Structure 1
Amino acid sequence: TGADERTLRSVDIRSHIKDVATRYDVPENLVAAIVEIESRFNPRAVSPRGAQGLMQLMPATAATLGVGDPFDPRGNIEGGVRHFRSLMDRFDNNLPLVLAAYNAGEHAVIAHRGVPPYRQTRQYVKRILRQLDRDGAKTSDTAQPGRKV
């Protein structure tokens, strides 16, 4: 049935998240929280600004990352996690800054010397941190705002 297919796809997506997160040394629960907040695990999601797929990659970012089809769950997760890893390296694993850079762009974080004063970005950072907390990440470093991942 359709519901069974969606469940299987969700299981496959979660399995791929685990594989890619492990390969790039990004906490699996963090990647899952980003996918949940960004797209609700919908590989066909498109934002009003044009971000696409599970990790809501902008077309230019997807192209830079070599993601040919942003609606392909495997390619989108691969590119999104690789991009997130590069932001973790750039911002010394400071999770609020990394999340803000993923959402608003690294140049916005640099220009504002911190989380930009954009309402949407500040809400995004809070939503991801709350999702991590809800997912039982309290025992993980990723759950503590301002802590390093």
Structure 2
Amino acid sequence: MIESIQRIHSRIGEIQSTFNKLGFAPLNTQLPVKPFSEYLNEAMASDSANKINNADGSLLIENNINNKTFDNGKIIDEDTFNGKISFGVYDDITNNLTNNFAKAINAYKKTSADFPNTYDSIINEASEKYSVPKDLIKAVIKQESNYMPNAISSKGAIGLMQIMPSTGALLGIEDKESLKDPYVNIMTGTKYLSQMLNRYDGRLDLSLSAYNAGPNLVDKLQRIPNIDETKNYVKNIIGYIK
């Protein structure tokens, strides 16, 4: 592509030289036109900047991939959580909304050390990819399925992180059967959790509410919905990790 532009540039120069010899004035002489060479140099610089090469100089990837950005040369998925997590209404356990929260913390911390390590390698990969704390992923799995990979809810949620097929499809998993695979399920569930954390500026109370009850309701209320299942869900997960 660049070579073709260079040849065109050279030909334009030859034509311009011929016009000058014939006494024709250059076109648009009264307008501040940037020389074509500057456009060419910018294009070449952009082309170079948008590529990352392997050690041997071969092309690795171009910076035009959907949902990808670059951070100091590292490829970052835009689904990656990029903020700081807060506990929202649970930040202050003396708050009137959370009078019983200290008891919940003590109860769940007794069991948090008993999390199985069967899926730790997948959890570690998901945590690094989406910048979601490992303990949070483990807590969601504990609450959602108690680490049972074949769990299916009455509503049809599947696997370790209880992903609805419709949610999986939105996240690029068209075959709902693949959600039974622990790797696919944890990576997909963590991706969705990361999206919710970004959506609610790191507020864990709202992000977990949206994971459980759906973001549309949380968007409307801007608080934990007054649904016993959701309130217990948020309290229990935060109790595992806080």
Q: 1:129 and 2:238 equivalent? A: yes
Tell me by how many angstroms 1:100 deviates: 0.3
Q: Are 1:28 and 2:134 counterparts?
A: yes
Q: Distance in 2 between matches of 1:32 and 1:85?
A: 14
Q: TM-score, normalised by structure 1?
A: 0.79
User: Are 2:216 and 1:107 equivalent residues in the alignment?
Assistant: yes
Separation of aligned partners in 2, 1:121 and 1:85: 18
Residues 81-111 of structure 1, C-alpha deviations (whole Å, 9 max, x = no match): 1111111101000010000010000111011
> Whose strand proportion is higher, 1 or 2?
2
Residue correspondences, number: 124
Matches within 5 A, 1:1-149: 11-67=117-173, 68=175, 69-132=178-241, 143=242
* Post-superposition offset of 1:12: 4.4
For residue 11 of structure 1, report the CA deviation from its aligned partner.
Answer: 3.8
What stretches of structure 1 of length at least 5 have no aligned partner?
1-9, 133-142, 144-149
How far 1:127 sits from its partner (Å)?
Answer: 0.8
Taking only aligned residues, the RMSD between alpha carbons, in angstroms, comes to 1.1
Is the 2:206–2:222 contact (alpha carbons within 8 Å) kept by the matching residues of 1? no
TM superposition score normalised by structure 2: 0.50
Give distance in 2, aligned partners of 1:66 and 1:45: 21
Unaligned runs of 5+ in 2: 1-115
Of all paired residues, the percent bearing the same amino acid is 37
Would you tell me which structure has more helix in proportion to its own residues? 1
